[in-house]
Structures are given as structure tokens and as C-alpha cells.
Amino acid sequence: MDRKEILERIRIILESVLNHKDFEMKEDLKASEVQGWDSLSHMMIISRIEDDFNIRFKMREINKLENLKSLIDLVQSKV
């Protein structure tokens, strides 16, 4: 699966969980820069990504996520 498709599917999940589109899907995007992306939203997003891509993360992998790029890399490594 290419990065563009992963990015697009993640974008749909983010918009659905965060309930807005006020963010730019750039690779250095951080959770702290997006309104409403708190710990609770983060878990909802992670859970939706797992279901959507049919993958499973480890806690340690989640803790190491720094930005959107690292999330895409992680998803890509699992699909």
C-alpha cells in the first residue's frame, strides 16, 4: 500500500474523530498542533486505524510516535 493511500485513509479517520478539517496533512504534523487531538482522541484514532487497516500496534510503538510521518511509517510497516 503506498503512502498516499495510507495518508488519505488516515485523513478520513482524523476528520471523523476530531470532527473538523482544520489541519494540514503534512508529514511533520504533530497531535499538539491539532485542536481536539488529546489523549482520548488519540486512542480513538489509533483504534480506528487498527480496525481500518486490520493491523495491531504495540504500546511501545505508540509511545514512540512523534508526528504524522512516524505514524504513516508505522502503518506502512504493518500492512
Partner 1 sequence: MPLYSLEFLIFLSIVFILYWTLFKNTAPAQNTLLTIASLFFYGWVDWKCLSLLIFSTLFNFYFGRLIHKNNHARTRWLLLCGGLTVNLGILVYFKYFHFFYTSFIGFFGLYDNATAHSTLQIILPLGISFFTFQAIGYLIDLYNEETEPCPRLLDFAVFMTYFPKITAGPIERAEDFIARINIKREFNDNQAVDGMRQILWGSFAKLVISNNCATLTNPIFDNYLHLPGSTLLLGAFLYTLQVYCDFSGYSNIAIGISKLLGIPLMRNFASPFFSTSIREYWRKWHISLSSWMMHYLFTPLSFSLRRYHKMGLIISVMTTFLLIGLWHGANWTYIVFGSLHGLYFIPSILAGTAGSASTTYSRKIQLLKRIAQMLGLFILVMLTLVFFGSNSVPAAVQYLSGLFSPSLFSPPVLPPPAGLAKVLATTLFILLLFTVEWLQKDKDHEMHITHITSPALRIGIYYAIILAILLFGSVIHIDFLYSQF
When asked if residue 55 is in the footprint of partner 1 (CB under 8 A), the reply is no
**Three state DSSP letters for 7-37:** HHHHHHHHHHHHCCCCCCCCCCCCHHHCCCC
How many chain residues interact with partner 1 (CB under 8 A)?
25
Task: Calculate the CA 19 to chain-centre distance.
Answer: 14
When asked if residue 47 is in the footprint of partner 1 (CB under 8 A), the reply is yes
When asked if residue 65 is in the footprint of partner 1 (CB under 8 A), the reply is no
Site residues (vs partner 1, CB under 8 A): 16-22, 35-44, 46-47, 50, 59-60, 62-64
